[in-house]
């Protein structure tokens, strides 16, 4: 879990653009198990599992946060990747399995409640916050609530879109404040919450520190050979870090002498400085500060 001291003193409510897919049928967990980077075979009802969908080169196509509803499974993915993910799932359905894949992008909304005390807002709604955990979705009315695996102070909520506005209002009535995507960018950079800026085909899971989203003992899945080779050799080319600078940190590639190319995935302003997530050559990950070829200086923090 990541440090949360920097988070807003009140819980902030973010409606996060995400792709949502549903797979229906008796063998939906078996089918997903063939595709995802994590084991999904033995998930109990309302279990949560965070994994990835990768290509044969081991690169990330989408994130896949699973909610098992029995004969239906909700797959929460990155913003903008839903169509491709649904085609990936639908095109490999075995001929003798009756599975249906549906687009739920507009049916289900994804809310994140993040801050120093998000549980207080939920308790005000009558939710037993002691029941909230990473491995499970808690049913509350027509919503599903769980804790983000990477940040305990980020609560994820799936809600029918038709009820999203009323739920946000209820959270605000119980002490939360609504926040925009600029503020979300700040929260996710400071908390190391990754999205499509990092979880995309430019990156490999182990470079992003996502070892726990890759199950090397589950058998084959697309990308497994690459992940296993990287893990066994233990030599990653790049790693994800947080940068801080008084200078602007625009997204994209920048050169650093003696270090190489630094790829900034997302950035924003915070507290009078600029912060960013960036992929840097692994050999430079222990360096505390470096100067880009354009003269701007950035300090490096591990995530």
CA distance 77 to 81: 7
Which one among 3, 26, 45, 94 touches another protein, defined by CB under 8 A? Answer: 94
Which one among 124, 160, 175, 209 touches another protein, defined by CB under 8 A? Answer: 160
Task: Measure Cα distances from 241 to 90, 202, 254, 280 in Å.
Answer: 35, 16, 15, 7
Q: 276: which strand partners?
A: 243, 267
Work out whether 231 is an interface residue with another protein (CB under 8 A).
no
Burial class (CB within 10 angstroms; exposed 0-12, middle 13-18, buried 19+) of 118: buried
Work out whether 87 is an interface residue with another protein (CB under 8 A).
yes
Which one among 41, 44, 126, 220 touches another protein, defined by CB under 8 A? Answer: 220
Work out whether 238 is an interface residue with another protein (CB under 8 A).
no
- The percent of the chain in helix, strand and coil, each rounded to the nearest 5, is 25, 35, 40
Residue with tokens 């440090």: 3
Letters for 23-62 (x = contact with another protein by CB under 8 A, - = none) are --------x--xx-------------------xx------
Work out whether 143 is an interface residue with another protein (CB under 8 A).
yes
Q: How far is the CB of 220 from another protein (least distance, A)?
A: 5
* Tokens encoding 162: 């038709």
Q: Name the site residues for another protein (rule: CB under 8 A).
A: 22, 31, 34-35, 55-56, 69, 72, 74, 86-95, 100-104, 106-108, 139, 141-144, 158-163, 220-225
């Amino acid at each position: 879990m990541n440090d949360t001291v920097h988070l807003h003193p009140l819980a902030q409510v973010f409606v996060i653009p995400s792709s949502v897919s549903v797979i229906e049928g008796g063998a939906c967990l078996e089918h997903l198990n063939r595709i995802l980077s994590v084991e999904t075979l033995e998930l109990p009802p309302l279990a949560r599992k965070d994994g990835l969908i990768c290509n044969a080169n081991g690169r990330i196509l989408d994130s896949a946060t699973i909610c098992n509803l029995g004969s239906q499974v909700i797959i929460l993915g990155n913003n903008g990747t839903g169509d491709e993910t649904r085609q990936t799932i639908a095109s490999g359905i075995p001929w003798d399995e009756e599975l249906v894949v549906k687009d739920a992008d507009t049916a289900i909304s994804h809310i994140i409640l993040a801050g120093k005390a998000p549980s207080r807002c939920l308790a005000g709604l009558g939710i037993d916050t002691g029941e909230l955990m990473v491995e499970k979705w808690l049913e509350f009315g027509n919503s599903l609530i769980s804790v983000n695996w990477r940040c305990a102070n980020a609560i994820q909520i799936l809600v029918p879109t038709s009820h999203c506005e009323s739920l946000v209002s209820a959270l605000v009535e119980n002490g939360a404040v609504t926040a925009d995507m600029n503020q979300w960018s700040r929260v996710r950079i400071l908390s190391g919450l990754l999205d499509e800026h990092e979880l995309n085909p430019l990156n490999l899971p182990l470079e992003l520190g996502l070892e726990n989203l890759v199950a090397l003992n589950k058998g084959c899945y697309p990308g497994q050979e690459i992940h296993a080779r990287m893990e066994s050799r233990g030599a990653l080319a790049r790693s994800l870090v947080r940068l801080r600078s008084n200078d602007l940190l625009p997204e994209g590639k920048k050169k650093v002498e003696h270090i190489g190319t630094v790829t900034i995935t997302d950035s924003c302003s915070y507290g009078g400085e600029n912060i960013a997530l960036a992929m840097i050559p692994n050999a430079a990950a222990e360096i505390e500060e470096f100067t880009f070829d354009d003269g701007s200086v950035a300090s490096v923090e591990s995530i």
